[in-house]
Structure 1
Amino acid sequence: MNSFGKYAAQYPHLVRLGVPITVGQLGTIVLGFADTLMIGHHSLQELAAASFVTNMFTLALLFGLGFSYGLTPIIGRLYGQGKAHEIGVALKTGLAAGAVLTLALIAVMSLLLLNLSNLGQPEELLSLMRPYFIVNLVSIPFVIGFNTFKQFFDGISRTQVPMVVMLTGNLLNIIGNYLLIYGKLGMPEWGLFGAGVSTMLSRLFMCLVLVVLFFRRRTAYRTGFMQAKVGREDFVYQNKQGWPLALQMGMETAAFSLSSVMVGWIGTTALAAHQVMLTISQLGYMLYYGMAAAVAIRVSNYHGRQDYACADTTASAGFQLILLLGVAISVPVFAFRHVIGSLFTDSGDVISMVSMTIIPFVVYQFGDGMQSNYANALRGLSNVKPLVYVAFLSYFVITLPLGYFLGIYLDAGLVGIWSAFPFGLTVAGVLYWLCFRRTLHKEACLI
């Protein structure tokens, strides 16, 4: 088989696994767009308040999502070996570890809630931020539970199941937004708080559906789950896999979420434009993640079979598909950069600021795609420790300080802060690739 042929042979498998994940992520993006659109047209102040709170919770929830990712390569490797009973045991251990993480996240976010007034945000937004913050706090357990069960279904290659559940939940959320933000059909007009209530209820729904789908049939997975006792060794291993991934995703998200604090120093208009840009940027990230998650699943299957040549080919094929997605995203976004902001608000200042910030957004798509692909490839090999060090260097040492220097010190504003992202993301992508190559070589030599 020629060089292209070996990659092309992987495309159908990656697409089959990745498209349902991508479609589910698109549902999340539609939800984010709907939330931002509806809130923005209800009140500019509510849009700015939503920006800060949403980004603080994005940091916390993606931290939790990263932790749950540690379960996927464990299940994927066991699935490649045909060990269904052990998969049920792994899921139960993952839920136990996730419960501990949930308590930690609630404690941290509660502390943040108590200190909202000390974070330098506009005073007029605090009364809008607090109730929206509280209702998001209540929904954390549902998010962690859903993510854990989602990794189970993804790991056994049933990616269509969480896709359908996510799309259904997001549709219910959009309907709930319409009713509770604007007070339709006799419902109270709660504005931003109504959007939070709707989101919480949809998260509860999605979590409960996956739980029911797992337990409704007698399978070897369920038998393993019911018979298992959470052992100390398995619990420690789950945490060893989960925490580095949580820290990696947390630091990556922090590059964007903590930038919201700096943007808040600039003013309400910049904060509103920042929220619009974050909603747009999720398009690329979520699409990349769908394909990259497929790479993690396939690589973990090959890892279980000790077939490292195919693991290497899969990672390269995944990156090729992600590059195609990057072009598909960047071209229309750049072409319509002057009008995209008008979808979210009527403010001319916000629309203008968004059009300028789209330029660094387009520039960083290559680095974002590369880091997403090879971080997931490393996850598939269960070598997650390097992710922490690379993420710290790329996002805390490079991106955040550079964003402060360009945006605040040089007074380049929102565009300056966003211009730091291409540097950090590209450094992360290159270093993840190098770590993946080194891990493959090491694993192959141990056979």
Structure 2
Amino acid sequence: MTYGGHARAIAILGLPLVGGHLAQFAIGLTDTVMLGWYGVEELAAVTLAGSYFFILFMLGGGLAMAIMPLVAASDAQGDDTSIRRVTRMGLWQTVMFGVLAMGMLWWSEPILLLLGQKPDVASLAAEYLRVAGWGIFPALWVMVLKSYLAGLERTQIVLWITVLAAVVNAIGNYALIFGNWGAPELGIIGAGIASVLTQLVSLVAVIIYALKVLPQHALFQRFWRPDWEMFGRVFKIGVPIGLTNLSEVSMFGASAMMMGWLGTVPLAAHGIAVQLASATFMVHLGLSNAATIRAGNAYGRQDRPHMAKGTVVVTVISLAVSAISMVVFLTCAEPLIGLFVESDEPDLAQILAIGTGLLGMAALFQLVDGVQAIALGVLRGVQDTAVPMVMAALSYWAVGIPASYVFGFMFGLEGIGVWLGLVLGLACAAVLLMARFWGRSIKQVGAASMA
């Protein structure tokens, strides 16, 4: 296939995934915007709670993300039985993880206080998590089933189910946060209820689709029967992915904690900047998923040249997206931040001042964040997850977090310094992971057939 052919194939596969991630992002964005309208303290609390929940969700999400390359490789080999076995054990493992995670979600307040958060913000965040935390069960099952469908290159339905979820969440938030349409005004608790309802609607929709359109896989037939061989295979690939996710999202979670040390207004500004940066990252994440699927398919066929060309193309596309988003962040910072805060908010000027500086740093890390996401995607496609986990953890926690603390507090750069540390951590990850893929992982593909 030519480079142009790869670009077209990535666009067909990747655009619905990008749209799906943007729709998923819209769910969190809706919470942030509407609670920003409701009050700055509520905005700060949901920023903190969202980071906390997301850390746990992405740790368990590694088990769900392992399904995508395994299904893609099995599909390339025409092995429907393995597709069913892989997906079923992914569902098993995410339920087990959800049970473990609920304790940390329910008793989050002492943990947040131990991490140095202000008591009033920690209390509000814990109230939200005691409600929204129950959504981790349907959310992880949705992630498993979306990975299953994406691995089969059924990305259009993944998009539309996520769009449905975003609409349900917006309606639920509007009713339950502010007390519209006869609903009680519940504030941050209303946002938590809307989040759980959204995940349940998504789960029902994706299960109905899987049962109606792909009955040959019989995902829920004799669901209670264990399959320990496939359980171990999913676990072996999924745990390193989950720990890689944990090391990255906890780096951002730690940055939120540091911003919380600076005060409620800096934390609120950080929440806005993270939301805006996350919007563009959703494009890179969709491209990364497309890279995982295509690399997984090529891995199943042991087709090294196809994989190499595809990786070059998807990396170039990611760099182009980074360039566009950098320009937007640098030229439109204040109007973008203004979308999140009411014009009569007393702290508006301070939020704009802090947020504009943070978006300048976000523009800088777009480049490296996209590249490291693509590198992780193709490495997962070839089922290489253990060593990349170590590389990522070292980059994020041995480089990123210490640098954030040093620049932010020891050098007195405050929020700008915290974000500069994030840039350095992501840059280190991008270099190491790309070197791993091109220097070793891709060379293993097709080696046996060439010998």
Q: Does 1:404 align with 2:400?
A: no
> What is the match of residue 119 of structure 1?
115
Alignment-mate amino acid for residue 439 of structure 1: S
> What is the match of residue 60 of structure 1?
56
> What is the match of residue 446 of structure 1?
448
Once the two structures are TM-superposed, the CA of residue 192 in structure 1 deviates from its matched residue by 1.2
Query: Which whole-Å CA distance do the structure 2 matches of 1:60 and 1:140 have between them?
Result: 9
Map 1:166-315 to 2 at 5 A: 166-217=162-213, 219-222=215-218, 226=222, 229-315=225-311
- Aligned partner of 1:98 among 85, 94, 98: 94
Query: Which whole-Å CA distance do the structure 1 matches of 2:63 and 2:220 have between them?
Result: 22
Query: Which whole-Å CA distance do the structure 1 matches of 2:436 and 2:214 have between them?
Result: 41
3-state SS of 1:20 partner: helix
Please report the RMSD computed on the Cα atoms of aligned residues, expressed in angstroms.
1.7
Once the two structures are TM-superposed, the CA of residue 292 in structure 1 deviates from its matched residue by 1.1
- Residues 224 and 170 (structure 1 numbering): CA distance in 2 closer, same or farther, change over 3 Å? closer
Show CA shifts across 1:207-244 (max 9, x none): 12111221235632127955894322211111000000
- Residues 383 and 228 (structure 1 numbering): CA distance in 2 closer, same or farther, change over 3 Å? farther
- Residues 85, 220 of structure 1: 8 Å contact kept: no
> What is the match of residue 379 of structure 1?
380
> What is the match of residue 435 of structure 2?
434
Q: Does 1:415 align with 2:416?
A: yes
- Residues 288, 374 of structure 2: 8 Å contact kept: yes
- Residues 89, 225 of structure 1: 8 Å contact kept: no
- Residues 146 and 57 (structure 1 numbering): CA distance in 2 closer, same or farther, change over 3 Å? same
> What is the match of residue 154 of structure 1?
150
Q: Does 1:342 align with 2:338?
A: yes
Equivalent pairs, count: 443
Query: Which whole-Å CA distance do the structure 2 matches of 1:11 and 1:185 have between them?
Result: 47
3-state SS of 1:382 partner: coil
> What is the match of residue 7 of structure 2?
11
**Which ranges in structure 1 are unaligned for 5 or more consecutive residues?**
none
Alignment-mate amino acid for residue 189 of structure 1: E
* TM-score, reference length from structure 2: 0.95
3-state SS of 2:257 partner: helix
- Residues 374, 433 of structure 1: 8 Å contact kept: yes
Query: Which whole-Å CA distance do the structure 1 matches of 2:159 and 2:431 have between them?
Result: 31
- Residues 109, 122 of structure 2: 8 Å contact kept: no
Once the two structures are TM-superposed, the CA of residue 65 in structure 1 deviates from its matched residue by 2.1
- Residues 17 and 93 (structure 1 numbering): CA distance in 2 closer, same or farther, change over 3 Å? same
Show CA shifts across 1:248-305 (max 9, x none): 0110111111111111111111110111011111112211010110010011001100
Deviates more, 1:23-32 or 1:364-373: 23-32
Once the two structures are TM-superposed, the CA of residue 30 in structure 1 deviates from its matched residue by 2.3
- Residues 398 and 98 (structure 1 numbering): CA distance in 2 closer, same or farther, change over 3 Å? same
- Residues 87, 224 of structure 1: 8 Å contact kept: no
Alignment-mate amino acid for residue 431 of structure 1: L
Query: Which whole-Å CA distance do the structure 2 matches of 1:223 and 1:66 have between them?
Result: 20
- Residues 126 and 299 (structure 1 numbering): CA distance in 2 closer, same or farther, change over 3 Å? closer
Q: Does 1:357 align with 2:363?
A: no
Alignment-mate amino acid for residue 344 of structure 1: F
3-state SS of 1:301 partner: helix
- Residues 143, 207 of structure 1: 8 Å contact kept: yes
> What is the match of residue 36 of structure 1?
32
Query: Which whole-Å CA distance do the structure 1 matches of 2:9 and 2:363 have between them?
Result: 28
Query: Which whole-Å CA distance do the structure 1 matches of 2:137 and 2:81 have between them?
Result: 26
Query: Which whole-Å CA distance do the structure 2 matches of 1:444 and 1:218 have between them?
Result: 31
Query: Which whole-Å CA distance do the structure 2 matches of 1:226 and 1:80 have between them?
Result: 25
Q: Does 1:26 align with 2:22?
A: yes
Alignment-mate amino acid for residue 289 of structure 2: A
3-state SS of 1:403 partner: helix
Alignment-mate amino acid for residue 406 of structure 1: F
Once the two structures are TM-superposed, the CA of residue 412 in structure 1 deviates from its matched residue by 1.1
Query: Which whole-Å CA distance do the structure 2 matches of 1:393 and 1:126 have between them?
Result: 29
Alignment-mate amino acid for residue 378 of structure 2: A
Alignment-mate amino acid for residue 444 of structure 1: G
3-state SS of 1:373 partner: helix
Show CA shifts across 1:22-75 (max 9, x none): 111111222222221111111111111111111111111122222211111110
> What is the match of residue 48 of structure 1?
44
3-state SS of 2:446 partner: helix
- Residues 86, 224 of structure 1: 8 Å contact kept: no
3-state SS of 2:182 partner: coil
Query: Which whole-Å CA distance do the structure 2 matches of 1:223 and 1:376 have between them?
Result: 26
Show CA shifts across 1:332-356 (max 9, x none): 2211113322211241101110101
Query: Which whole-Å CA distance do the structure 2 matches of 1:6 and 1:213 have between them?
Result: 34
Query: Which whole-Å CA distance do the structure 2 matches of 1:140 and 1:113 have between them?
Result: 18
- Residues 216 and 16 (structure 1 numbering): CA distance in 2 closer, same or farther, change over 3 Å? same
- Aligned partner of 1:107 among 103, 106, 120: 103
> What is the match of residue 75 of structure 1?
71
